[in-house]
Structure 1
């Protein structure tokens, strides 16, 4: 039986291992950390705090992820949460960005316009600036790779407060 070595136990490595195993190929998975999952992993530290390796978000556009979770038997362990981000503000206050359960980009439009973080002008400028990415082609989006967020924001006339209050929070 052929054997394949996979280096890395992130989602890509795990998905590859499962596909190969399903095809009858013997797999050896090598991961240097004590936990699998790569950027989607978390663990408990010595103080009992839960530490995330990366942001644990699932978006509806991840079409292959839910079937994968079902296939490997972990779907029922997923804890679904509201798509709400709390942004810490000075003085101990916070602002809430809620992405409702409607298709993108409508959910983003609603989140960025229905909040108490931005002024009315910041909401309008952000909406029009983000629209270029929502309606732009993949080729357009690829042209942005060389540009900083600030350069992009200025080019699209998004109010400075949007960057200061959200992206530099």
Structure 2
């Protein structure tokens, strides 16, 4: 199974000068900046060329995540567990990792996406951060009766 974790591209700042709370109404309404739109378009074009036709795209209900996912020009499914306050366990369950049969793209937020990477690679939770607009492509495979997580690629919009 392949799992792609795609962090939303650069978005407007929260209108609350104190930053508000992740997942509050104002946070969920934040839109991509013009730079974020370019990041999403660049990554979306690259990813669309790499993905199999049956890939499932699951997206946070936050506007900035939806705008990022729409750059793929594929059908997306909004999934509330990918909201900014989602847990790594919830994200992996939504993706049906590691037993799912299809490639799954999760479009979401930090710190949850970074925590998923950390848990799958055996890193301390705080040591993995995903840059805005970037993705991690992971693969689960069986070798000699043991399940392994492979890093297929890590991409940032600036490197494409």
- Using the size of structure 2 for normalisation, the TM-score is 0.27
Larger % of strand: which? 2
Larger % of helix: which? 1
Q: Which has the higher contact order (CA 8 A, sep 6+)?
A: 2
- Using the size of structure 1 for normalisation, the TM-score is 0.26
